[in-house]
Each structure stands twice: as structure tokens, then as C-alpha cells.
Amino acid sequence: MTRTLAKTQADTESEAEQRTATTKRGRATRARIINCALRLMWRYGYSEIGVNRLIEEAGVLKGSFYHCFPSKLDLLLAMFDHLWAIQRRQIERIYHSQLAPDDALRTHIEWMCNSQIAAKEEQGFVPGHLHMAAGVTLLEEHPELAKKVRRSTEEHYAFIFETLMQLTPHGEAVARRQTNILLYFISGAMMQARLYNTLDPIHEIPTFANAVIGYLQAGGGLEQLNETAVRLAEMNAKSSGGPTKPAPSRRATGPRKGKAKA
């Protein structure tokens, strides 16, 4: 009986080890497919890359693909979750550091722009936002996809809004309006950068972000927002005509707050 019990325990341990190995292989396959899809779909668009191209580039069997993802849309949904999880962790590290609010926001913007610059240097194209590779039609046809895009956008919005709230003495209305203006500009710049495959609009983002930060630190309220709107329109008009020379980055001249205490 002792031998039987020992054999049963050994068999159980062996089965557990096999399941663990299978799980690890499955996770590795899933990650390989996602990373390959991010590279291909982000560059060429969701509709241009089929499953056969994906499994060939990823080096996996078709059965393995469909074991991980019932459809190409399920893969796209997983791509959004995977990418935003990485981005959110990086953004949280920035805002949970000892940086003052204005420096944290600048670091956030710089990280965002540097990601686009690195992609251009390594892959030869400016990726912009991932949902740009999906297209408006796909977002309209699949509410679950649109929901994921909105969720990540709203979480990103919250990081910036809460930071701008700390920079303005005029309260929520001004912080919310300036958050909207800043994100509208970033979205437009990303779109132009992807459309023309140029980093020129990306180089404009820190300049505009510094203008927003300086405006708030100088105590600007709702009555001065028209000036910011004019600046936004001018910069958008400049980039909408196609590739332009990047404007030199300049720091805001408004009063700076001290470092936040631990």
C-alpha cells in the first residue's frame, strides 16, 4: 500500500510538472504571437495582416494560434490589454516617483515621444496610437474593442488631469479644459506623424506641453484660455500641411514648484 501511495504521489507530481510545462509553453507562444502582431499590424494595419502571415512570422502552428486566440479580433483585444498594461506600469512609475508634478508630467510626455522616436529608428515608421492601426470602422463594428480604447484613454486622461489640478489655483474647470486641449494636440500630432511617417509633429508635443504647464503655473484662468486655443490652432495648422521642420524645444518660464516631499 505504501508503494502504491508513493507511486500515486509521483504520478500526481509528474502530471503537475507536465501541466506547468504546457502552461509555460502556451504563455510563450501567446506572447510571441502578440509581439509579432504588434509589429506587423501596427505598421501595416489590422486589415492588411492575415492569420497565415502572422503564424509564419511568429513561427507557430495554425492550431497553436487558434488555441491562444479564437479569432484575429480576439488577438487584437489581447494586444490592447498587453500594450496598455506595459504603458500604465511605466506611467505609474513616473507619477509615483519623487518628481514634482510639473516635472512628472514633462517626464511622461518625454517618455511618450521617445517611444515614437525609438520605433521610427528601429522599425522605420512612426506608430502613433495602436487604435490608429485598427481604423474607425473596426471600432464602430466591435463595441468591445471601442470599450478597451476608451478605457485606456480615460485612464491616461486621469493621470494628466490629476497632475494639472496640482498646478492650477483655479480648480477643476481650468484643469479639465487644459487636459482636453493637451490631449487633443497630442492625438492630432500622433495622427500627423503616422500619416506622413515623420517625427516633426512628435517634436512639437513637448513644446506645447511646456506652454500648457507654464500657463497654469503663471496662474492662467478660463479667461485666458483663448490664447492657448489660438496657439493650438496655429501648431495644428502648421503640422496639417505635411512634414515641417521641428520647432526647437523650450522650457516654460512660469514659476516652478519645489520637489514633492516623500
Question: CA-CA distance, 171 to 90, in Å (whole number)?
Answer: 27
Contact status, residue 235 vs residue 185, Cβ threshold 8 Å: yes
**CATH top-level class for 1-70?**
mainly alpha
Question: CA-CA distance, 163 to 213, in Å (whole number)?
Answer: 10
Determine the straight-line distance between the first and last CA of the chain, rounded to whole angstroms. Answer: 62
What tens digit of pLDDT does each residue of 173-214 get? 989 999 999 999 999 999 999 999 999 999 999 999 999 998
Question: CA-CA distance, 206 to 247, in Å (whole number)?
Answer: 10
Q: What number is the average pLDDT over the span 146-162?
A: 94
**Angle CA(211)–CA(216)–CA(220) in degrees, nearest 5?**
105
Cα–Cα nearest to 84, from 122, 45, 129, 25: 129
Position 23 pLDDT exceeds 70: yes
This prediction has a pTM of: 0.75
Q: Mean pLDDT check: name the lowest of 26-30, 176-180, 216-220, 242-246.
A: 242-246
Q: What local confidence, expressed as pLDDT, does residue 169 receive?
A: 87
What tens digit of pLDDT does each residue of 76-132 get? 999 999 999 999 999 999 999 999 999 999 999 999 999 999 999 998 999 999 999
What tens digit of pLDDT does each residue of 34-51 get? 999 999 999 999 999 999
Contact status, residue 161 vs residue 99, Cβ threshold 8 Å: no
Question: CA-CA distance, 202 to 114, in Å (whole number)?
Answer: 9
Please state the domain extents for the chain: 1-70, 76-262
Contact status, residue 41 vs residue 133, Cβ threshold 8 Å: yes
Q: What local confidence, expressed as pLDDT, does residue 2 receive?
A: 59
Question: CA-CA distance, 140 to 146, in Å (whole number)?
Answer: 7
